Amino acid sequence: MGEAGSKRTGGLSILLLATMFLGYAVYAIDRTVLSAVLPLVSSSLSLSNTQLGLLVAAQYIGVLAVVYFAGSLSDRYGRMQIVLLGLVVFTVFTWMIGLASNFAEAFAFRLVSGLGEGVFWPVAMASIAAYFGQRKGFALGIFYVGFDVGSAAGPALAGFTLSLTSDWRYAFLVAPLFGVAPIVMALLQKPQSGAPSAEVERPTMGAEARRLMRQRNVALVMIFAFLATWASVWQVTFLPYYFNKVLHYGVVYSAYLAALVPISGAVGKLTLGRVSDRVNRRWALALVSLLVVISYVSFFSLSVLYLLVLAAIVMSFFSSSIFPIMQALMADSCGGRLGAALGLSTTSQSVATVFSTFISASLFALGIGRVLAANATLPAVLMVVVALLMKEPRNQKGDRYAGIDKAS
C-alpha cells in the first residue's frame, strides 16, 4: 500500500494532505483556545484549583484513551471514515464547551473533544504515510506544521472574539467553525481513501499490539516517542514561563521571545522531514537527537539575551523535527499496520505529555526552574542511545522504506 501511495500525485494527494493539515490546525485551535481564556472560564464557572487542573487535563485523557484503538480500527475498516469521525467529534464538542454552565458539563465536553482528537491524530498520519510512500517524511512534516499554525491561531482567535464580545463563550462558538472545511474535504475524498489490503492479517487488537511491540523497531520507536515528547513538551507549555520566572524577563517580553520558537520548529519539521526521505532515518534520528542535546545544554547554560534567543531557535528547530522523522520510521517498520503502529507511538506521546507536564510544573512550583535543564536534557541523551539501537527497515526486495521490519 505504501508503494502504491507513493505514486498518487497531483490533485488527490494534495487534497489529502490539505485535509489533514487543516484538520490538525483546527485540532490545535480547539486545544489552545482554552488556554487563552482559562482565567475567564475559571471565574465564570467558579472552578476550584483541582477542577481547573482536571479541565485542562480532560482533553489529554481523552486522547490517551483512544489513540491506539482508533489506529487499529482504521487498518480494519478504512482510514478516511475514522478521520471524518474524529474531525466531527472534536469540532462539535469544542462548540459544546461554549454552552457549559458548570464544571461537570465543561469537563465532559472537553473529554469527548479529546476523544475526537485521539481518533483523528494517528489515523491522519497513517493516511499520509500510506499515500506518500518514500516522501512520507516531508509530507508528515507538512502535517505537523498544521499544529504550529493552529497553536498560533487559537490564542489570536480567542483574543479577537474577547475584544469584540468580552465573553469567553464566543471563542468556543467561533473556533469550531474552522472545522467545517476539513470535514467537507474529508467527505469529498472518502472514496479515494481505500480500505486496507485483504492480505493484512486482522488479529484482535490486544494480540495485534503485542505482535507489533515484539518487533524491534516498533518497540524502540515507542520508547523514543515517549522520550522525545518528555524532552520537548516543556517548550510548548512552559517556555514563556521559564523566560519570566527563571530568567526574569517581563511577561510580554517573554511571550514575544517564545513566539519565535514554533516558527523555527515548523521550518525544522519541513526541512529535516524532507532530508529524512533521502537518508537512513535511524541515523537521522540519532544525529538530530544529539543536536537536540547540544542545543539544550547551550540554551540552559547561556544568559546573554541574543545568544539565548539564538539557542532557543536552534533548540526548537531540531527538537520539533524529530517527530515527522520518528513517525515516518514507525510507518516504515510496522509491516503495513500503519494505523495500529502509529496509534502505539501516539499513545507513548500522550503518556509522556501528562508525565512531563506534571514534572515541569512541579519544578517551577518548587522554585527550582533551572532543574528543568536536567528534566529536558536527560531524556534527550537517552533518545540518542535508543536511536542507535534501531535498525533501518528493508523488505525482501531491499527497498529502503518498505514498511516491513525484517528483524521481527
User: How confident is the model over 321-367, as pLDDT tens digits?
Assistant: 999 999 999 999 988 888 999 999 999 998 888 777 777 767 766 66
Residue 217 and residue 333 in contact, taking contact as beta carbons nearer than 8 Å: yes
**So what's the pLDDT on residue 57?**
82
Cα distance between residue 293 and residue 385, in whole Å:
12
Residue 143 and residue 331 in contact, taking contact as beta carbons nearer than 8 Å: no
Q: Longest Cα pair distance anywhere in the chain, in angstroms? A: 63
Cα distance between residue 241 and residue 286, in whole Å:
30
255 versus 235: which is more confidently predicted? 235
Please compute the mean of the pLDDT values over residues 211-231 and round it to a whole number.
Answer: 93
- Nine-digit cell at 27? 485540532
**So what's the pLDDT on residue 247?**
75
Please tell me the least confidently modeled range out of 37-46, 55-64, 163-172, 367-376: 367-376
Mean pLDDT of the chain: 83
Alpha carbon dihedral 68, 236, 264, 302, in 10-degree steps, equals -130
pLDDT of 139 over the 80 cut: yes
Name the band, by pLDDT with cuts 50, 70 and 90, for residue 114.
Answer: very high
Cα distance between residue 400 and residue 394, in whole Å:
5
Q: Which domains does the chain have, with CATH numbers?
A: 1-200 (1.20.1250.20), 203-408 (1.20.1250.20)
Name the band, by pLDDT with cuts 50, 70 and 90, for residue 8.
Answer: very low
From 103, 302, 323, select the one nearest 231 (Cα to Cα).
Answer: 323
Please tell me the least confidently modeled range out of 175-184, 238-247, 317-326: 238-247
Cα distance between residue 327 and residue 350, in whole Å:
14
pLDDT of 155 over the 60 cut: yes
Cα distance between residue 125 and residue 128, in whole Å:
5
Please tell me the least confidently modeled range out of 19-28, 98-107, 168-177, 348-357: 348-357
- 347 Cβ contact list (under 8 Å, min separation 6): 64, 67, 68, 222
How many CB atoms lie under 10 A from the CB of residue 14? 10
Cα distance between residue 18 and residue 274, in whole Å:
17
Please tell me the least confidently modeled range out of 202-206, 227-231, 301-305, 387-391: 202-206
Cα distance between residue 328 and residue 221, in whole Å:
10
Residue 328 and residue 238 in contact, taking contact as beta carbons nearer than 8 Å: no
- Nine-digit cell at 361? 510544573
**So what's the pLDDT on residue 10?**
56
Cα distance between residue 208 and residue 196, in whole Å:
15
User: What phi and psi values does residue 7 have, to the nearest 5 degrees?
Assistant: -90, -10
CA angle 356, 362, 367 (to 5 degrees): 130
167 three-state secondary structure? coil
Please compute the mean of the pLDDT values over residues 70-93 and round it to a whole number.
Answer: 90
pLDDT of 398 over the 50 cut: no
